[in-house]
Amino acid sequence: MKKIFLPFAFFLIAQITIAQNANFKAEILKLISISGADAQIKLVKPQILSMIPENKKENFSKDFDATIPGLLDKMANVYMEIYTPDDIKAMIVFYESPVGKKMNEKAAELGQKSMQAGQEWSQELQGLITKYKEDAPAPSNYSLTKPK
């Protein structure tokens, strides 16, 4: 009897675990969608399309779209490694709240303005780097050693 029960119990536990993982992954995919993370992927498409010859854009677009589910699955696996089911549920509650929705709606604007701020900072940093490079003494090929 034990020989029959043990394999059945392991099979049942495995099925429950698979179902829990499938539910967890579905919740993560929902989070990715409502948080706007998948929209960020779609924003890349026009930039890439601009590099593709006009006569090949339609086929590229279809192939590009076909790769998105695989990417989302990989992203979901990463979320599964980092977050617990309770974490994901809490994030979903946040993104479904008014402030979470506003955050999602403003993400593109925030990203664009942040990028601009980063570029301005980079220009300031270039001046700072130049200042310190100019003040530095030229490297010498000579080395001082103590006489023996």
- pLDDT by position in tens, the chain (length 148): 556 655 655 555 555 555 567 899 999 999 998 888 777 777 788 888 899 999 999 999 999 999 999 999 999 999 999 999 999 999 999 999 999 999 888 887 887 898 899 999 999 999 889 888 876 666 666 666 666 6
Q: What is the structure's pLDDT at 40?
A: 74
Q: What is the structure's pLDDT at 18?
A: 53
**Tokens describing residue 27:** 């919740």
Sign of the dihedral through C-alpha 91, 93, 98, 99:
negative
d(CA 89, CA 31): 8
Residue of 43, 63, 40 whose CA lies nearest to 52: 63
Sign of the dihedral through C-alpha 30, 33, 36, 37:
positive
d(CA 148, CA 134): 37
Q: What is the structure's pLDDT at 121?
A: 93
Phi, psi angles (nearest 5°) of residue 107: -60, -45
Nearest-10 Cα torsion for 44, 87, 90, 113: -30
Q: What is the structure's pLDDT at 6?
A: 59
- The predicted model scores a pTM of 0.61
**Tokens describing residue 53:** 């010859």
Greatest CA separation found in the chain?
89
d(CA 20, CA 65): 28
